[in-house]
Amino acid sequence: MCGIAGSVALPHARPIAAAELGRMTAELVHRGPDEDGFFLDGPAALGFRRLSIIDLGGGSQPMFSEDGEVALVCNGEIFNHRELRAELEAKGHRFRTDCDVEVVVHLYEEEGPELLNRLNGQFAFALYDRRERQLFLARDHAGIAPLFYTRTNDHFVFGSEIKAILRHPGVPRAVDLTGLDQVLTFPGLVSPRTMFRGVSSLPGGHYLLVRDGEVREKRYWDLDFPVEESQSQPDEYYVETLRELLTTSVRRRLQADVGVGFYLSGGLDSSLIGALVGEQVRDPHSFSITFPEADIDESGHQRLMAGKIGSIHHEAPFSDDDIATELRRMVVHAETPVKETYNTCSMVLSALAREHGVKVILTGEGADELFGGYVGYRFDGRRGTGRTGDPLEDALEDNLRQKLWGDAELFYERQYHAWRQTKMDIFSEELQASFAEFDCLAGPVVDPAMLAGRPRLSQRSYLDFKLRMSDHLLSDHGDRMALANSIEARYPFLDRDVVEFARTVPAHLKVHRLGEKFVVKQAAQGLVPPEIIGREKYGFRAPGSPGLLRRNLEWVQDLLSHDRIRRQGFFDPHVVDHLKARYLRDGFDVHPHFDDDLLLVVLTFGILLDEFELSG
């Protein structure tokens, strides 16, 4: 992955200068420490920071069409580039490099924005068409590669990270309160919302066209589950097909002219990916986090799998000290407050890979969302609609669900009406008075049409894909923590062919009497030890804010002090004081999978305010 940034001057405005573009791309040096590149022409300014992965000597960007009329900067990888290249060369296109992303330029000449339906990859790109004086921005189907944008009085501005956009002279720095409310409500932010007022995140599967001052957005892909489930093949077909598709997906993601390794958590998904890597690469490198606390340490299963694969295994011991050391840097890279500290673990893990000369990492994200991997999938069948039995509370909850999902019967994660009151209590009196203006539950956050009529399991899978995976697990936890140390993460379970196949897998092969992700467990037979296949779901977790509080660190105390919270005006200082006292009680802990670490949100939000100099 790399970093891109730039702008297009709106009609009658002055284009930005080369020095201004240079300052924007300089903010992305961690995403691309190897090289930079620039294109300035008329109203357009495209900047690029390169992390060299494929065609190390010839893959410089921007890239151009043969006639120079199309310019491209691309962050990401096109995994089916070889097939596309052969097709384009047969049509007479001449390639200047062996780099995978050059196919985008030539495919655009053939198909325009429809080219996105041909790509299998993880990417965010900006393409400027000089003839049409049009900017074309796009993000991959799953939203693996980030892409942000804003519009000032004079310019349309974009970047791989918001910190690059903030370097544009016309972009203000202010908190988006709806974004803050989303962090408190969902697993994290939900595109197009960000923590920065006026700055949007382009959702996965969408593209933008900017021309003559007009900005048009279009969805080109979505996770479209069938309304009625049908099974035309025997169960064995789905198991065998999944293994074949994952084998191909891993092979595609091993394409690189640099070292490639994989993360090994000790769970099923990363172990299966590691096993498939081991079938195709001799002595691969694997990387794991270990903890001193026995209840969260998975080193035994990690070492078991590394031994079976024969990988060169590396471990990073992790403790509360590392959380305290890395938390501020983590927030700077994540560009959002968080409810869990495990992002710091991910950042340490990517540093370990970099230390051992590996620039590309394969990971297991996506399996849980696509194949029913969370415990909620089992609970749905037992819980029904999740009502409380109180007629008024249930009526208010039903009304809220209808607004959010278009379905009053659909329970997802929590009782949102009751949670709304909990959130209200932590906000300051001033924000409580204006809460209706930024309430993230005031309307849909996903397209209700993609939920309508689908089976419950498919509905939950769609919501997990949209609300948990794209803007959280792949963004602040994935892309940002890997590229903080100039590491590219790749996700075999999110290969477009695997995702499309997952839509067709019958529910009983996802959630089975033997547990979640049954089809994945069957595909892993013979590749992954039974001790790992048969494990209960064990989500990646790390110690929370109570451990930080007990260390009595001066900077933590300052960020959570009564006076500071009062001056900032976002949270109620008395409620924060109460939370501190509660979290400091003997034996108290916050479970990251069942509890919301509200104090960590307050703490990391304070860091965000400081580091980005944000106003209210």
Active site residues: 2
Element (H, E) at 207: strand 206-211
Binding residues for ATP: 289
> What is the DSSP code string of 442-466?
SS-SS-GGGTTT--HHHHHHHHIII
Cα 199 from Cα 151, distance rounded (Å): 8
Q: Are 122 and 494 in contact (CB under 8 A)?
A: yes
Amino acid at 209: L
Q: Per residue, what are the HEC states of 90-143?
A: HCCCCCCCCCCCHHHHHHHHHHHHHHHHHCCEEEEEEEEECCCCEEEEEECCCC
| Beta bridge partner(s), residue 174 | 615
Between CA 182 and CA 2, with CA 485 as vertex, the angle to 5 degrees is: 80
What is the pairing mode between strands 214-219 and 206-211? antiparallel
Amino acid at 29: V
What sign for the dihedral angle of Cα 604, 608, 611, 615?
negative
- Greatest distance between any 2 Cα atoms in the chain: 72
Q: Is 391 helix (H, G, I), strand (E, B) or coil?
A: helix
Distances (CA, A) of 116 to 110, 124, 462, 474, 536: 12, 11, 21, 20, 38
Cα 451 from Cα 462, distance rounded (Å): 7
Binding residues: 100, 289
Q: Is 255 helix (H, G, I), strand (E, B) or coil?
A: coil
Q: Are 52 and 61 in contact (CB under 8 A)?
A: no
Rg (CA), the chain: 24
Structure tokens at 473: 């697990």
**Minimal CA–CA distance to 137: which of 72, 80, 90?**
72
Distances (CA, A) of 508 to 190, 235, 512, 513, 517: 30, 10, 5, 9, 10
Between helix 416-426 and helix 573-583 the angle, nearest 10°, is 110
Q: Are 534 and 522 in contact (CB under 8 A)?
A: no
- What φ, ψ does residue 340 adopt, rounded to 5°? -135, 155
| Beta bridge partner(s), residue 157 | 7, 150
> Which residue reads 């693996």 in tokens?
144
What sign for the dihedral angle of Cα 569, 574, 575, 581?
positive
**CB under 8 A, 24+ apart: contacts of 48-52:** 48/2, 48/3, 48/4, 48/73, 49/2, 49/3, 49/4, 49/25, 50/2, 51/1, 51/2, 51/359, 51/483, 51/486, 51/488, 52/257, 52/258
Binding residues for L-glutamine: 100
Cα 66 from Cα 64, distance rounded (Å): 6
